[in-house]
Structure 1
Amino acid sequence: MYPLRPILKTYYDSLEDGKVLGMKCQDCGKVVWPPLPTCQDCGSYNLDWIEMGDEAIIDEIRFEDSSVGGDYTFRKADEFFTEKDPYCVSVGHWPNGSHQFHAALYGVTEENKDDLIAKLPLKAKVHLIQLNGGFKSVGFELEDVEAK
């Protein structure tokens, strides 16, 4: 496993235990995910770890075949995914009030994408992605498609 700084180590160790952690600002109450050492709203360093849960809200689906073109960040990250199941890029947020994030979203196909986009926002379960290097990352998966 790669050597990680303390904040990263706590986060990635929690993923190994199947828990997604974020940070909550004790000054303004905002939630930061993925975790950072400062609040993204007020700049405070007064943050505590919180569990994010196992479900997020997907606000936008950016359907692209993960094996071609598209978002450079995900094309680069895709090189490190050990599982090669197809996914697309999504924009979402955690129900506890985090800022929007970009994440891999599994369960979207060319055949169902238009129907899913019409039902946005959607609930999605956490899907931990195994990466080369011995650690995990957070993606999401649409299972039972239910509008939020």
Structure 2
Amino acid sequence: MYKLRPILKTYYDSLEDGKVLGMKCTDCGDVVWPPLPTCQKCGGYNLDWYDMGDEAVIDEIRYEDSSVGGDYTFRKANDYFVDKSPYCICVGHFPRGTEQFHAALYGVTEENKDELISQLPLKAKVKFIQLDGGFKSVGFEIKK
């Protein structure tokens, strides 16, 4: 198993417990996910762990054929996903967060993408993605 640094260990241990943690700055109140060691708004170091909840708001769906191009970061990450179910990329935010994120989004198909895009913003549940390194990552899933 991959050896995790302390800040990462707390985060990935929480994923194993079914909880998504971000960081909240006690100086300015900014909340960011995934967690970072410094506040991205004010630069402060006074951050506490913050439960992001189990649902996000999807603001944008980027449906593309990743074999043609796509987001390199996700194409590379996909090599380590145990479950090879199809997904696309989304831009969203947690209702308890203040920053947008990019993540894997499951449940979008060629057949339903236009309908889902017309409904944006929409809610999606957290989906824990098992990685072959022995730990989890976070994606989201639209339930019909």
**Structure 1 counterpart of 2:116:** 116
Q: Is the 8 A contact 2:14 2:21 kept in 1?
A: yes
Amino acid at match of 2:124: A
Match of 1:7, SS state, is helix
Write out per-residue CA displacement over residues 42-93 of structure 1, whole angstroms, 9 at most, x where no aligned residue.
0000000011000000000000245553111110000000000000000000
Identity %: 79
Q: Is the 8 A contact 2:15 2:137 kept in 1?
A: yes
**Structure 2 counterpart of 1:99:** 99
Report the Cα distance in structure 2 between the residues aligned to 1:97 and 1:83, rounded to whole angstroms. 28
**Structure 1 counterpart of 2:69:** 69
Q: Is the 8 A contact 2:53 2:96 kept in 1?
A: no
Q: Is the 8 A contact 2:52 2:97 kept in 1?
A: no
**Structure 1 counterpart of 2:90:** 90
1:8 equivalent to 2:8? Answer yes
**Structure 2 counterpart of 1:27:** 27
Write out per-residue CA displacement over residues 77-118 of structure 1, whole angstroms, 9 at most, x where no aligned residue.
000000000000000001013311000000000000000001
**Structure 1 counterpart of 2:137:** 137
Report the Cα distance in structure 1 between the residues aligned to 2:83 and 2:67, rounded to whole angstroms. 12
Amino acid at match of 2:76: K
Q: Is the 8 A contact 1:56 1:94 kept in 2?
A: yes
User: Between Structure 1 and Structure 2, how many residues are aligned?
Assistant: 144
> What are the ranges of 5 or more consecutive residues in structure 1 without an aligned counterpart?
none
Report the Cα distance in structure 2 between the residues aligned to 1:121 and 1:67, rounded to whole angstroms. 27
Q: Structure 1 stretches (4+) deviating beyond 4 angstroms?
A: none
Amino acid at match of 2:98: S
TM-score by length of 2: 0.97
Amino acid at match of 1:107: G
